[in-house]
Amino acid sequence: MLTAFFRAFRTPDLRRKLLFTLAIMALYRFGAHIPLPGVDTRNLAACTGASAHSNTNNQAFGLLNLFSGGALLQLSIFALGITPYITASIILQLLTVVIPRLETLKKEGQAGQAKITQYTRYLTIGLSVLESAVTLTAARDNPGYLLGDRCRSVAVFYPRLTWEGMAVMVVIMTAATSLLMWLGELVTDRGVGNGMSILMFTSIAARFPGSLWAIKTNSHTLDGWPVFAAVVALGVLTVAAVVFVEQGQRRIPVQYSKRMIGRRAYGGSTTYIPLKLNQSGVVPVIFASSLLQMPVMLVGLTGGTTATKGWQAWLNRQFNPTIHGYPMPYTLSYLLLILCFAFFYMSITFDTTETADTMKKYGGFIPGIRAGRPTIDYLDYVSTRITWPGALYLAVIAAIPMIALDRLHATASFPFGGTTILIMVGVGLETVKQIESQLQQHNYEGFLR
């Protein structure tokens, strides 16, 4: 991988793309430290500075803080990160199966995809307004719920903040999300890799060193070094396992018969359908985390605290890992939701009926399998068989932080597990593949002249 990067920097075209991508990443991190107008930065730093990388902030905003690179704790202009765009993309992808109009657009090729992208942008703006309003309201009325128990009695906004000021902050956060969306598209067009994925990678990587060091400082066994070494060793093994599984795929052979068009014979080639072991990626983990945040969010929005009794206390006890570690109902619900969403997302992204019809239309068939219904049944059988190990793999990766934090007695957030490691490894692999493919194009350039 390092060799590929060195070779890329020696190639002028790739060097410009890499420097452009790095400049956008630096700009993104710079904006993450610019506070919103009306935020009392002294009070905010006093209550969140020591816990910026710990597990004290509420789980209901865990993903938002993760994808913003910690900007949520600082209430910066990029506090939302690219979470609204991610949510909008997932919603549009799911609605494509339900709404015939969107399904028709998807089949129209590049023009239809451009229209879906436009809808995604509009939905991103709407979600940005909603998420920014909820975040700012929580920070004003119940800062301890959003930022941690240490901020419970701290005023994070200046006393004279009016609803007009809140509206201005909502507009600024929405505009900042739109700017990030534009920067991500610039990286996709002029840089290296997928722009949105690169920004997500930047957010997670920015918190990675601090999360590691927080585990060391929060452990009291021999000044924290044994726990730190154990976490790093476990992280290396986890990364190696994730890389191995992410590269694994099942290749279904497909053969195309020859067709006579005029006096020429076309076709007769052999190819394959690649089915990744983890076809759904990180989406099931995000879905499961989002659903499990709802009970805790409901308690917080209804004014519940750790001392509340009744149904709010029961939800806190069963579904709030911040207070009681990882209770059994939370853990089992998390793992079961990951398994269910893995199969659900696989059924959406890989339409066996459409694949079989396309193969039949162009004269393709799977050796030993008849075209039509037998091909659909075979593809359903293979996709189900390959989804099981992929779903269990996602569940195991998601369970690593729960096991590690309990066994190692670390109170900080564990960086090698769940959404974090899947996104970092996935984006890293895809970016390296794109760099290598562009390097091969430069190597073959002399033959094309």
Q: Which two tokens stand for residue 367?
A: 């050796």
Q: How many helices (H) and strands (E) does the chain have?
A: 20, 5
In angstroms, the CA 179 to CA 80 distance is 12
User: Among candidates 38, 56, 39, 217, which has minimal Cα distance to 152?
Assistant: 56
How far, in Å, CA of 84 to CA of 82, rounded?
6
332 closest CA partner among 244, 402, 262? 402
Degrees (nearest 5) of the Cα angle 417, 419, 425? 80
**Rounded CA gap, 237 and 249, in Å?**
21
- Tell me which H or E stretch contains 16: helix 12-31
Nearest to 128 by CA among 181, 165, 75: 181
Counted residue by residue, the chain has a size of 449
User: C-alpha 210: how far from its chain's center?
Assistant: 20
Quote the tokens at residue 130. Answer: 């909603």
Q: Which amino acid is at 249?
A: Q
Max Cα distance, the chain (Å): 83
Residue 252 pairs in a beta bridge with: 273
> What pLDDT digit, counting tens, does each position of 238-285 carry?
888 888 888 888 888 888 877 666 666 665 678 888 888 888 887 888
The pLDDT tens digits for 9-60 are 788 888 899 999 999 999 999 988 888 888 888 877 777 664 444 444 455 5
Cα→Cα distances 444→191, 406, 438, Å: 21, 53, 10
- What topology does CATH give the domain 1-215? Preprotein translocase SecY subunit (1.10.3370)
Residue 155, by phi and psi: left (phi above 0), alpha (psi -120 to 50) or beta? Answer: beta
Q: What does the alpha-carbon distance between residue 326 and residue 407 come to, in Å, rounded to a whole number?
A: 12
C-alpha triplet 126, 128, 133: angle, nearest 5°: 105
pLDDT of the chain, 449 residues: tens digit per residue: 566 667 777 888 888 999 999 999 999 999 888 888 888 888 777 776 644 444 444 555 666 777 777 777 788 899 888 888 988 888 888 888 788 888 888 878 788 888 988 999 999 999 999 888 888 887 887 776 666 667 777 778 887 777 888 899 999 999 999 999 999 999 999 988 888 889 888 888 887 777 777 777 777 767 778 878 887 887 888 888 888 888 888 888 888 877 666 666 665 678 888 888 888 887 888 778 777 777 766 666 665 555 556 676 777 666 666 555 567 777 888 889 889 888 988 888 888 888 888 888 878 888 888 888 889 999 999 999 999 998 898 888 887 777 665 555 444 455 666 678 888 888 888 888 888 888 877 665 444 44
Rounded to the nearest 10 degrees, the angle between the axes of helix 83-98 and helix 283-301 is: 110
With H, G, I as helix, E, B as strand and everything else as coil, classify residue 295. Answer: helix
- Nearest residue to 85 (alpha-carbon basis) of 183, 225, 211, 192: 183
Listed by start position, the domains of the chain span 1-215
C-beta atoms surrounding 391 within 10 Å:
23
Round to whole Å and give the CA distance between 329 and 318. 6
